[in-house]
Amino acid sequence: MPEPVVARVFCLPYAGGSSLAYRGWSDLGPGLEVVAVDYPGRLMRPAEPLLDSVPALVAALTEELSPSWDLPFVLCGTSLGSLVAFELARAAEQAGRPPEAVVLCACAAPGRPPRNPPVTDLTDTGFLDAVADRYGGALAALSGDPEAQAVVLPMLRADLRAFERYTAQPVQHPPIAADVVAFSGQQDHSTGFGEIAGWRAFTTGDFQIRSVPGGHFFIEQRPPEVIGEIRARLRDHRTVETS
């Protein structure tokens, strides 16, 4: 008989990514359900239109996910997914179902001058070169694969447009009440430790920052550090026993 679900972790992917970014997270412990999210227009949702703003993504995902906020939960996001996770936390608090914690990875706090210039209006070649140079990882291989470009480019442009529009806006909302844990990759050349530490101003709850080995995609390269933090947060609230 399967363990009853007593807590959930909602995982939000980076720009151009999908639920596959969290494919190794399926078994975090007894009673803990991992909900790896796909944004509209990709993987399991190919017929849905792409969304190119954080508010639109949050509105769509709130409608989809809010019925599952009936149990204690943690929101975890990477890069663009961190912005989405943060705004989902605000939506959950407004609905009277606050998360236990919000885990933000590889994302500068809002309201800071962007480190890098916008890229979404560049030509396909210029866009791919800029993104590969900034973030590295599997994105660097797209330049030599026209078929992959045809699939990934529209999603990547829409996501990075959402990211750029959000970070270009002045801060308009008060802090959330949930605890926030922010992770910084030590070899992440796109986002610095100080930029990530700025999330401290966006919560009235507990704030912690962690520096871990890895580049921008450390969530895939070295997930145990982040997984351990999530387990600890849920254990502290006595919602799940870790193995």
Each residue's pLDDT tens digit, 114-148:
788 899 999 998 998 899 888 876 766 777 778 88
Residue 229 placed within a domain? yes
Q: What is the pLDDT of residues 209-230, one digit of tens each?
A: 999 999 999 998 889 999 999 9
Specify the pLDDT at position 140. 66
Q: Does residue 42 fall inside a structural domain?
A: yes
Question: For all residues of the chain together, what is the average pLDDT?
Answer: 90
Residue 158 is assigned to a structural domain of this protein? no
Per-residue pLDDT band at 46 (split at 50, 70, 90)? confident
Q: Are 206 and 120 in contact (CB under 8 A)?
A: no
Instruction: Indicate if 143 belongs to the active site.
Output: no
Residue 23 domain-assigned (yes or no): yes
Band the pLDDT of 3: cuts 50, 70, 90.
confident
**Per-residue pLDDT at 243:** 41
Note whether residue 52 is domain-resident: yes
pLDDT on residue 91: 96
Q: Which tokens go with 49?
A: 């239109």
Non-local (6+) Cβ contacts of 93 within 8 A are 176, 177, 178
Q: What is the CATH number of the domain that holds 202?
A: 3.40.50.1820
> Is the Cβ–Cβ distance between 103 and 77 less than 8 Å?
yes
- pTM over 0.85? The answer is yes
Q: Is residue 130 part of a domain?
A: no
pLDDT at site 142: 74
Q: What is the pLDDT of residue 219?
A: 92
Q: Could you report the per-residue pLDDT of 174-215, keeping only the tens digit for each?
A: 899 999 999 999 999 899 999 999 999 999 999 999 999 999
166 in a domain, yes or no?
no
Residue 59 located in a structural domain: yes
- Please give the pLDDT value at position 221: 84
**How do residues 50-79 score in pLDDT, each as one tens digit?**
999 999 999 999 999 999 999 999 999 999
Number of domains into which the chain is organized: 1
Domain that holds residue 46: 7-111+171-236
CA–CA distance, 218 with 106 (Å, rounded to integer): 8
Single out the catalytic residue among 79, 82, 184, 190: 79
Whether 238 has a pLDDT exceeding 50, the answer reads no
Confidence category of residue 237, pLDDT binned at 50, 70, 90? very low
